Amino acid sequence: MSKTIICLYTSANCGKTSTIRNLFLKLGGNKNVINADHDFVSTVNFGNKSIGFASQGDPGSTQREDVEELAKCNLDIIVTASRSRGDTVDNVTEIANKYGYTVVWISPFYFYDKTQAAEKQYSYFAEKNAECISKYIIDII
């Protein structure tokens, strides 16, 4: 198995962090690590895989530092977020190349017109996105 970065990439406020939060919990992460209002960095062991999570993906944020710290740990999988273009995408690509990771770019399901999405619908997509990614981790990687 090659080392893999799974990067959720899309524009702002489309559920990337919510999806990563759901995935973290689904794979056995401690709910006390995450705060619903803040980004987080953490790791879990799932089966024989070590998985890191860095939910920050905004330009000018700690995204690069967070992902690089996880890459230095030689984890099997890193799950992170980025915007759809620019520095956040470049950060993930550069770190992947530097530490020998393959990047899987995933654009999550989301409401294009966020004014039409109720919180229940928004949460539903984050949960389903996490289910798909966890199945990918379990079945493919």
The pLDDT mean for the chain works out to 85
Least confident piece of the model among 52-61, 85-94, 130-139:
130-139
Domain that holds residue 50: 4-139
Residue 110 has pLDDT above 80, yes or no: no
Percent over 70 (pLDDT), the chain: 84
CA gap 27, 10 in Å, rounded = 23
Q: Cα torsion at 135, 139, 140, 141 (round to 10°)?
A: 90
CA gap 94, 91 in Å, rounded = 5
Strand segments, DSSP code E, in the chain are: 4-9, 41-46, 49-54, 77-82, 102-106
Percent over 90 (pLDDT), the chain: 42
Least confident piece of the model among 18-22, 40-44, 98-102, 122-126:
122-126
Domain count, the chain: 1
CATH code for position 34: 3.40.50
CA gap 133, 120 in Å, rounded = 20
DSSP 33: T
Q: In this predicted structure, what is the pLDDT of residue 34? A: 75
Pairing status of strand 77-82 against strand 4-9: parallel
Q: Across residues 91-119, what is the average pLDDT?
A: 80
CA gap 80, 97 in Å, rounded = 16
Taking only the tens place, the pLDDT of each residue in 43-72 is 999 989 999 999 998 888 999 999 999 999
